Structure 1
Amino acid sequence: MNHPDLEALPTESADVILAENESRLHAPARTIENGPWRVQLRGDELADIEYQGHPVLRAIRPVVRDHDWRTLVPEVESVPEVESATGDDDDASLRLAVGFTGFGSEYAADVAVSFSGDGLTVAFDGTAPQDFRSNRIGLVVLHRPDDGGRRVIITAPDGTRTESAFPTDVSPHQPFMDIAALAWERDGTAYTLEFSGDVFETEDQRNWTDASFKTYSTPLSRPFPVSVRAGERVQQSIRLTAAPTDQAAGSTAPSTSAERADGVLTVHRQVQGFVPGLGTSASRSAARLGVVPGLDALIVELPGSGPAAAEVLHHGERQAAELDAPLDVRITAASAADIAPRLDLLPLGKVARLGVFSSDGHVTEPELWDELRVEAQRRGFTGTLLAGARSHFTELNRRQDVLPGDAGALTYSITPQMHATEVPHIVESLPIQRLTALNALRIGAGKPLHIGPVTLKARFNAVSTDGGYDPATVEAMTTDPLQGEDFTAAWLLGSIAALTLPGVDSVSYFEASGPRGFIADDGTPTPAFRLFEKLAALRGAEVLEAPQGIPGLVLYPVSSGSGVLLFAANLTAEPLTTAVRLEDGETHTFDIPAWCHTARRLD
């Protein structure tokens, strides 16, 4: 692995970061098989739940979130063996002791998992060791993203039954409310989830690029945060049952192998898109930068008030000059009165795009847009005025009714770690990034998209009840130690491939330099930068149709004047070997280490 950002750290700190990165990238997973059930135990998460070889749920897991929606970190004290409760092989149980810590809060819970024939039950029994404020405590179910469009029957606590369906487009609001049970069918089996201990509801987590729908308690219509007293208990349980349907006899376990002719993946010459413009964001790092040919723009997020704006802009102008890139300025304003003073600071001739967003709601509110448009026109600005959300796709989706119709383009940001920090969740966000872009293009009715910043961790807490991250913790909350790893370069390629769509004009990633950047503070480029630099120079080049079907493999074939350059990434914890050929060309064998990427010309 590469760790250029660790050179300036004390040895002990560097060793700790290296160990933490390795533990995340190669986190142990334990397969538990009992009767017809198969699950992966990853820490506190019962992941990839299968019944008779068919996928059922993405996960069931306990969650504790504080008053600011920050997730307390779970740690399983020990992983005992699965025990048979009655001597019957189909009747067994597992009990986990989980401690939750973070942000000055603690929580403890016993999570009991039991298998009994065609039933799987997860029970939660939690206690607060000390007083704290919380927005959520208990079990959550993560439904698979391929359940989109699937019919479901919702049973309310009063016994009322309602027919509905998991949404296909990303739903801005909760699709299912007031839940005591859910029932649906897939792969020849009827499934039922029964909830006890609280009232549950479902949200579409694809809004945050999570690869799931989430059913959780307590309803958001109830006041939060709540005060949790020391010794106060929360008890919940979720029971999943399965029963064959009339179609069960003809169902077979899904194939896990990719289809490829003669064992070789073929890249066809059909064009599926073009390399989008690639940009990055300004940082406070003093590292000197060099010219990046083809770079789209440098985003500068300008606070709408306070003396810091001039300093932020100064750093941005310096870095843009070093990169030889125009500016993309995003003003965060509390009111329309903040806009004109910020425009007076700007070298508008160097600004390619200009946008404004509410400091509270994070979207382009009508009164802010009207002021920006008038003031920019008065100053002779000739670039693009863009609107949207400075936070997640969530806010763009939920407030699409206020977006200005005369905006030149739309924008929103992406982070894969709004709800979970485990590497599998980060990887699974990639196809959902594509889904959010398709939904944003639909919302914009053809307006071009400038997506970003795309960052491993969120730049700020968009759902904070306290006004954002505590200054003392902002660095830890916004910086992922994986930034300098080969993994991040592989994930970057997966993201660019996912967002290569007609209408996506540009995507901006990370920061130019510093702990969240492409370049370390000492000037050393990260693996992600080396990839980013190559692809930025290929802006507008044709991207050919890439074969699909191998989990964790990303193929991104780019046609340039000198031939076809195939970028490939392995987003798994094991080395990957695959054979690839260009249509009517020679076969090339790729050996890609775990969490790495490579590039090679195809003949």
Structure 2
Amino acid sequence: MVERSVALFGTSQPVPPRLTLTAGSLTATLENGALRWIRHGDIEVLRAIAWQVRDRNWDTPEPLVTNLVVQQQKTGFRVTFDALCRSADGELPWLAEIIGEADGTLRFTGTARPRVDFLTNRTGFVILHPLAGVAGRPVEITHTNGETRQARFPELIDPEQCFLDIRSLAHEAAPGLWATSRMEGDTWEMEDHRNWLDASFKTYVRPLALPFPYKLAGGSEATQSVTLKFSGRPSAPSMANGPRPVAITYADSQARMPVLGLRVGTETLAERMRAADLGRRTGIGLVNARFDPRADHDVQRLGHLGELAQALGAELALELVVPCRRDPAHELRDFAEMLSQSGVQPESIAVAVAEDRLRLVPGPPPPDLALLGVVYGAARNVFPQMTIGGGTFGFFAELNRNWPPFGLIDYITHIAASVVHAADDRTMMENLESLPAMARTVRAFAGAMPYRLIALSLGLDSGPYGEPAPNPDDTRRTLVRRDPRQRGLFAAAWALGALAEAAHNGIAAVTPAALAGDLGIVECGDRLSLHPIYHVVRGLARAAGRDVAGTVSSDPARVRAIACRNAAGRIVLWLANLTDEVQRVTLPEGGNLRRLDEETFAAAGLAADFLDRQKATRIGREIEIGAYGIALIEMGE
């Protein structure tokens, strides 16, 4: 029997313990030294208050918490602990005190005490507001000079900082209930975290306009605090009576299943060809591959990519980095000559300028954005018959800050990864909430132009800020390519949720994984084996272009759903449990059930057609799905 943690998460690393704290109507969860899911009754008021240390590469080391003391009483609580964050630049010790009072007031104080000089891009408190009940809603901002003004949280994703020079934020968490978060000890500002797939608005310490990295002097002391207070009362009392089953219902829909692709990842050429037959059996439509002249990519690489696409029975979607070190037209003609020599005929070429030619931070663009027009105009001249994609090979933030010239391209694209700012299990799943806002924002500035995601995955294949962080210990870490959960049921559930959002929001093509390697669906060990995500990719890739039935989950934070018709015309419903607990689900009708879960994990790793061969179980209108499990139901009699 496979160890449960390995089946779920691909690693034996334990899940951090969680402790629920209560003070009057307020509850919060203490996890890894951070307060998470801060609620007033049933209402999520803040997603997190956390003291974070970011190193010079923006990696966020987890704190080592010691001397934890928790005093929970009927009227409130007090928590103290010591913490230590280690980065490549050294160690930063800090200590914390958290107090919850009977009226729901919450105060979190942190004090950094570096023993020697410590270099950091950002150290201090981060406050996360959730999306539900917040996006597009009013907020009152108090600035550091005491002045207040009225504003709204962004509805569409804001490419700049939402608010600057913040001392406190007050928002109506529920009708009649106002929550005020006050920050002391520094100056805060807010950014729209959805730019990086994070499902929150982030208020963070130290303005980006100040230089970074900066030094915390050895022997110094820096104290900050965050206080949350409530006023008024919610107009309706809590009606919660324990978790109810998640109800799946049908709704009208005009959506279609996107074309699915696989990336050429970190695997060797030998591994790619070794896994090619299993990749071909998924039925994917695209092979996504990067061509970067700065990395000495050449004609031979193009030939290998063409051979792989042919072996997979898919079309090649090339991603061309234009360095812009010379006239872009000359650089594009050089690439066109290599492409001609290779004999490869790609389905499309997505063109993007090198990262240092993009606006990576808020504020006025450092390069002239007319450069983008030059690059895309040259691409259209050099490849007049080719489908040309545009946008960025970075995150949505880079697309949002650097709109391509839409009249010169045929589709718009970017990447998305779930490990950018946090790597805990629950945050990774919550990040799926950002995908609809991404699609709405693209539609707002690009209209009906086809929209592709050339990478939508747990780990980070590549990004605009440098190479992904190493992960030699195979643990949950930010900004890594090698996330151990890629090998477990977790990645299968996450991918199903992501593909459901992509389909329901009209995204034309999605690449949720690589063929092999760190982001792969196939493990190339002594013998080939399959990760659970393989079966999700295979099942949904075969449905590309088919109508997607409108499915509605009563609690998408627990269970996501997608349904389409199979070759026989029957509705096939896919369900993913996004939690580490068993979930009960009610269905619109009964059907024939197949499962991908802890019990079937080992068998699923051995056969590409595992779900096809599994004997179906006849079910009624209610089922249970295990932790991070997948349920596949052919509906009807």
Question: What TM-score does the superposition give when structure 1 sets the normalisation length?
Answer: 0.88
Partner residue, 1:131? 117
> Residue by residue, what CA displacement relative to the aligned partner does 1:536-569 show, whole Å, maximum 9, x if unpaired?
1111112112132134111211112321111111
Partner residue, 1:351? 346
Change (3 A) 1:116 1:398: same
Q: Contact between 2:246 and 2:559, CA under 8 Å: does it hold in 1? A: no
Q: Which moved more, 1:502-511 or 1:385-394?
A: 502-511
Partner residue, 1:367? 371
Q: Contact between 2:92 and 2:114, CA under 8 Å: does it hold in 1? A: yes
Q: Contact between 1:576 and 1:593, CA under 8 Å: does it hold in 2? A: yes
Give the residue type in structure 1 aligned to 2:349.
L
Q: Secondary structure at the match of 1:491?
A: helix
> Residue by residue, what CA displacement relative to the aligned partner does 1:82-134 show, whole Å, maximum 9, x if unpaired?
256xxxx4353111222212334321111110122332100010122443321
Give 5+ residue unaligned stretches, structure 1.
7-13
TM superposition shift of 1:395? 0.9
**Whole-Å Cα distance in 1 between the matches of residues 76 and 457 of structure 2?**
44
Give the residue type in structure 2 aligned to 1:98.
A
Partner residue, 1:142? 128
Indicate yes or no: 2:332 matched with 1:339.
yes
**Whole-Å Cα distance in 1 between the matches of residues 387 and 173 of structure 2?**
47
Give the residue type in structure 1 aligned to 2:495.
L
**Whole-Å Cα distance in 2 between the matches of residues 106 and 403 of structure 1?**
46
Partner residue, 1:279? 261
> Residue by residue, what CA displacement relative to the aligned partner does 1:290-320 show, whole Å, maximum 9, x if unpaired?
2246422111111123424445434423321
Q: Secondary structure at the match of 2:335?
A: helix
**Whole-Å Cα distance in 1 between the matches of residues 167 and 382 of structure 2?**
57
Matches within 5 A, 1:483-522: 483-501=486-504, 503-522=506-525
**Whole-Å Cα distance in 2 between the matches of residues 322 and 58 of structure 1?**
46
TM superposition shift of 1:230? 2.5
Partner residue, 2:601? none
Indicate yes or no: 2:47 matched with 1:58.
yes
Change (3 A) 1:100 1:293: closer
Partner residue, 1:528? 533
TM superposition shift of 1:237? 0.5
TM superposition shift of 1:174? 1.0
From 9, 30, 49, the equivalent of 2:19 is: 30
**Whole-Å Cα distance in 2 between the matches of residues 372 and 342 of structure 1?**
14
Indicate yes or no: 2:572 matched with 1:539.
no
Q: Contact between 1:386 and 1:411, CA under 8 Å: does it hold in 2? A: yes
Change (3 A) 1:264 1:405: closer
Matches within 5 A, 1:175-574: 175-187=162-174, 188-244=176-232, 248=234, 250-253=235-238, 255=240, 265=247, 267-268=249-250, 270-283=252-265, 284-285=267-268, 286-287=270-271, 288=274, 289-290=276-277, 291-292=280-281, 294-310=283-299, 312-335=301-324, 336=328, 337-346=330-339, 347=342, 350-361=345-356, 366-367=370-371, 370-371=374-375, 373-374=377-378, 377-378=381-382, 382-400=385-403, 402-464=404-466, 468=467, 477-501=480-504, 503-522=506-525, 523-550=528-555, 551-562=557-568, 563-574=570-581
From 87, 97, 100, the equivalent of 2:82 is: 97
Change (3 A) 1:144 1:470: closer
Question: What TM-score does the superposition give when structure 2 sets the normalisation length?
Answer: 0.84
**Whole-Å Cα distance in 2 between the matches of residues 397 and 44 of structure 1?**
33
**Whole-Å Cα distance in 1 between the matches of residues 41 and 633 of structure 2?**
41
TM superposition shift of 1:143? 0.6
**Whole-Å Cα distance in 2 between the matches of residues 548 and 257 of structure 1?**
18
**Whole-Å Cα distance in 1 between the matches of residues 90 and 166 of structure 2?**
29
**Whole-Å Cα distance in 2 between the matches of residues 558 and 256 of structure 1?**
34
Q: Tell me how many residue pairs correspond in the alignment.
A: 575
Give the residue type in structure 2 aligned to 1:18.
T
> Residue by residue, what CA displacement relative to the aligned partner does 1:55-74 show, whole Å, maximum 9, x if unpaired?
21111011000112121222
**Whole-Å Cα distance in 2 between the matches of residues 485 and 508 of structure 1?**
18
Give the residue type in structure 2 aligned to 1:496.
L
TM superposition shift of 1:150? 1.8
Q: Secondary structure at the match of 1:117?
A: coil
TM superposition shift of 1:332? 1.6
Partner residue, 2:93? 108
**Whole-Å Cα distance in 2 between the matches of residues 72 and 297 of structure 1?**
36
Q: Secondary structure at the match of 1:219?
A: coil
Give the residue type in structure 2 aligned to 1:360.
E
Q: Contact between 1:446 and 1:503, CA under 8 Å: does it hold in 2? A: no
Q: Secondary structure at the match of 1:426?
A: helix
Q: Contact between 1:339 and 1:372, CA under 8 Å: does it hold in 2? A: no
Q: Contact between 2:439 and 2:505, CA under 8 Å: does it hold in 1? A: no
TM superposition shift of 1:480? 0.5
**Whole-Å Cα distance in 1 between the matches of residues 246 and 157 of structure 2?**
35
Change (3 A) 1:371 1:55: closer
Q: Contact between 1:206 and 1:432, CA under 8 Å: does it hold in 2? A: yes
Q: Contact between 1:362 and 1:462, CA under 8 Å: does it hold in 2? A: no
**Whole-Å Cα distance in 1 between the matches of residues 227 and 119 of structure 2?**
28
> Residue by residue, what CA displacement relative to the aligned partner does 1:243-276 show, whole Å, maximum 9, x if unpaired?
215xx4x3212547788xxx79454374341111
Change (3 A) 1:474 1:48: closer
Give 5+ residue unaligned stretches, structure 2.
360-368, 593-618
Q: Which moved more, 1:530-539 or 1:500-509?
A: 500-509
Q: Contact between 1:2 and 1:484, CA under 8 Å: does it hold in 2? A: no
